[in-house]
Structure 1
Amino acid sequence: MAKGKKVKKRNSRQHPNQLNLKIVTSSTCLACKQQCARGLAYLERMSQPGAIGNGVPCILTKPKA
């Protein structure tokens, strides 16, 4: 009987300790109790008229791992 090929596991992360941060909008940054520098800079950019943004990664909403 022939043995089947071994299938290697694919690692979806580049590093086992890599975090997937949540993307938050300016309204979340505005309501945040611990406003970080990245969030405040994003909030400043989004306060300009006509600004379009996709959100910013939030270090305070990282998953517990």
Structure 2
Amino acid sequence: THSAVSREELMMVLAGLEQVHIRALFSQTSAAVSLRSVALEVAGEVGGGPPASNVELCMCPANYRGDSCQ
């Protein structure tokens, strides 16, 4: 629909993300294609690995709870 998504909608989609597939077309007419600084971190509630560096932590107002105060 070409409508912007809300932050809540985007977070709900990303919450179950396990893989990212990127389609690349190889053609002699391509001027340039680049992919830089891409990372996908995985974290669990219990684990012995290093702490996840990009986990959002919200201070939720009354009557809201969850990872993103939904």
Q: Same fold (TM over 0.5)?
A: no
Structure with more helix by fraction: 1
Which protein has greater RCO, CA pairs closer than 8 Å, 6+ apart? 1
Richer in strand (by share): 1
> Which entry has the higher C-alpha Rg, 1 or 2?
1
